[in-house]
């Protein structure tokens, strides 16, 4: 595997340069979401406009045909009553050489039982038009209408049926059905639908491209402000470390002469040391987060054994665990290998172990396990602590968010440990998930791509999470 050669591909270099820009992932996600919202709103407006236009056209285009059919049916009824049924039922049959009617409309007559009169059987009218469904409906309601498909080349026919009353007494003499082809209207509706879909699709495509451009331009001030904020946080955190270190050192020097000091003065100096330590930890965490956010943190990419990194973290917190009377258990089901920075991954695991110990019960347990699942390296840190309620779970990982602020402050927490761990895991192309049951404990799972999966991916297509790898990958 020649990963150094693969990392020098032009596409890879362009992607790496973009990935190294401060907040690239954050603002890329915002840009995509803004564009999707814009396209979604525009698409909904286009759909509503298209539906109203199409439904309106469906009612407007056939309206003249329906009105003419009703007028013609009324005239044929008068002919039936005044002249003769034969005259009223006469239809314009098409010439023998064509199957299409030469008249602008068709006529069919039915008796009082809804049966087609014999005079119509000799006419070359479409069979679909001669069905008695409209006549039977008219016998019940007086008038009826429907649309039938006569096939090519006539197409759809609009039928209007009206009963012929008995002028002498009650009863019905028959039913007259008038039919007119609405194929031109159907063609116009089809053309309108095609036009709406075509114009709508092109409009959405243009809106998507334009939305990406506009979102990029709109987010430029926010990107600049965010970059300046991250730079300020990093610079301020860096500058604070030196005076805090000096303050703590001076207080510790004074505490060496505790016997010469008043008891209240000694307690004040101890408070100064404790607060200086807390502020130093806070400044270091803020500096780490600022560097991770801006992608300025130096990262070594080498093949690591995740189980060994976990064991190293356990050794570092062993003294704290003994002090809190918490036992640590390891379950090494597999020794997965990942590509990453040993220092940063160790810091992430250390933050999870630190939380599991500090928020555990006396004589509680912390278990850490490593395994492989579906080409992924999985590390879990579980505790038997107080647990976290469901309403707090969505906010865990937010900066400075604490479930129990009083207890977190007493334990020396800053509310940034989980945020740092999540940022480190995300920078390595992995995910961090957290589950908890109040009163039973909390489990944090880290999922990272296996080293062999990254190697296979580089032979085929460069994966997303390797975009920020430097060219000197071992």
- Classified as helix, coil or strand, 173 is strand
* Other Cβ atoms within 10 Å of 217 Cβ, number: 9
Question: What pLDDT is attached to residue 410?
Answer: 52
Most confident of 10-24, 259-273, 326-340: 326-340
pLDDT at 317: 87
pLDDT of residue 296: 54
393 vs 209, residue with greater confidence: 209
pLDDT in tens, 384-406: 887 777 666 665 655 555 555 54
Across the chain, mean pLDDT equals: 76
Q: How far is CA 81 from the centre of its chain?
A: 68
Same fold: 87-181 with 299-466: no
The residue with greater pLDDT, 149 or 453, is 149
CA distance linking residue 357 with residue 423, whole number of Å: 21
- Residue 95, both tokens: 């010439």
What CA–CA distance (Å, rounded) separates 417 from 2? 36
Res. 291: pLDDT tops 70: no
- Rounded mean pLDDT of 450-464? 55
Domain 87-181 has CATH 3.40.50.300: no
Q: What is the pLDDT of residue 159?
A: 92
- What pLDDT, on the 0 to 100 scale, is given for residue 461? 42
Provide the pLDDT for residue 48.
92
Integer Cα distance of 230 and 209 in angstroms: 30
Q: What is the DSSP string of 284-315?
A: HHHHHHHHHHTT-S----EEEEHHHHHHHHHH
Give the 3-state secondary structure of residue 282.
helix
42: Cα within 13 Å, side-chain hemisphere: 18
Q: Minimum mean pLDDT among 166-180, 208-222, 223-237, 346-360: which range?
A: 223-237
Beta strands in 425-472 (DSSP E): 431-437, 441-449
- Residue 235's pLDDT band (boundaries 50, 70, 90)? low
In this structure, the dihedral spanned by the alpha carbons of residues 293, 298, 300 and 306, taken in order and rounded to 10 degrees, is -40
Query: Residues 162-168: what's their mean pLDDT?
Result: 86
More confident residue, 238 or 242: 242
How many Cβ atoms are within 10 Å of 136's Cβ, its own excluded?
A: 16
Domain boundaries, the chain: 87-181, 299-466
Average pLDDT over residues 196-202: 89
Quote the pLDDT of residue 144: 92
Q: Give the predicted TM-score (pTM) of the model.
A: 0.50
CATH no. of 299-466: 3.30.565.10
Tell me how far apart the alpha carbons of residues 36 and 45 are, in angstroms, rounded to a whole number.
Answer: 14
Count the neighbouring beta carbons within 10 Å of the beta carbon of residue 270.
14
Alpha-carbon gap, residue 446 to 389, rounded angstroms: 21
Q: Which of 290, 292, 291, 277 is nearest to 241 (CA)?
A: 277
Which residues of 397-458 form beta strands (DSSP E)? Answer: 431-437, 441-449
pLDDT higher than 90, residue 439: no
Is residue 302 very low, low, confident or very high in pLDDT (cuts 50, 70, 90)?
confident
């Amino acid at each position: 595997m020649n990963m150094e050669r693969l990392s020098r591909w032009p596409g890879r270099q362009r992607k790496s340069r973009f990935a190294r820009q401060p907040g690239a992932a954050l603002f890329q996600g915002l840009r995509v979401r803004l564009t999707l919202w814009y396209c979604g709103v525009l698409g909904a407006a286009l759909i509503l406009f298209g539906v109203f236009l199409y439904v309106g056209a469906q009612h407007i285009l056939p309206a003249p045909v329906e009105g003419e059919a009703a007028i013609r049916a009324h005239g044929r009824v008068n002919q039936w009553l005044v002249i003769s049924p034969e005259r009223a039922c006469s239809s314009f049959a098409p010439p023998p050489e064509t199957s299409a009617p030469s008249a602008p409309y068709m006529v069919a007559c039915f008796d009082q039982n809804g049966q087609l009169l014999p005079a119509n059987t000799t006419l070359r009218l479409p069979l679909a038009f001669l069905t008695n469904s409209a006549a039977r409906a008219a016998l019940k309601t007086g008038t009826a209408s429907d649309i039938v498909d006569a096939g090519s080349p006539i197409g759809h026919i609009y039928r209007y049926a009206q009963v012929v009353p008995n002028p002498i007494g009650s009863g019905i003499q028959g039913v007259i059905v008038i039919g007119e082809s609405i194929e031109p209207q159907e063609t116009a509706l089809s053309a309108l639908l095609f036009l709406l879909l075509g114009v709508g699709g092109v409009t959405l495509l243009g809106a998507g491209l334009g939305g990406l451009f506009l979102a990029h331009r709109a987010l430029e001030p926010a990107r600049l402000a965010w970059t300046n904020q991250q730079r300020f946080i990093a610079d301020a955190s860096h500058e604070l470390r030196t005076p805090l270190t000096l303050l703590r050192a001076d207080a510790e020097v004074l505490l060496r002469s505790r016997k010469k000091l008043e008891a209240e003065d000694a307690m004040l100096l101890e408070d100064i040391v404790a607060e200086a330590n807390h502020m130093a930890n806070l400044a270091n965490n803020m500096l780490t987060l600022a560097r991770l956010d801006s992608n300025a943190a130096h990262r070594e990419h080498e093949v690591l054994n995740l189980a060994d990194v976990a064991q190293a973290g356990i050794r570092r917190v062993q003294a704290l665990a003994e002090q809190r009377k918490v036992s640590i258990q390891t379950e090494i089901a597999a020794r997965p290998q990942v590509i990453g920075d040993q220092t940063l991954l160790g810091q992430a695991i250390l933050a999870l172990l630190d939380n599991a110990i500090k928020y555990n019960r006396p004589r509680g347990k912390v278990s850490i396990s490593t395994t492989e699942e579906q080409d992924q390296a999985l590390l879990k840190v579980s505790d038997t602590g107080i647990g976290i309620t469901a309403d707090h779970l969505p906010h865990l990982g937010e900066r400075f968010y604490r479930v129990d602020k009083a207890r977190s402050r007493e334990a020396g927490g800053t509310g940034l440990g989980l945020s740092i761990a999540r940022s480190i895991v995300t920078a390595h192309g992995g995910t961090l998930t957290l589950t908890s049951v109040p009163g039973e404990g909390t489990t944090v799972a880290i999922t990272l791509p296996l080293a062999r999966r990254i190697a296979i991916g580089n032979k085929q297509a460069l994966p997303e999470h390797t975009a920020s790898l430097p060219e000197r990958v071992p």
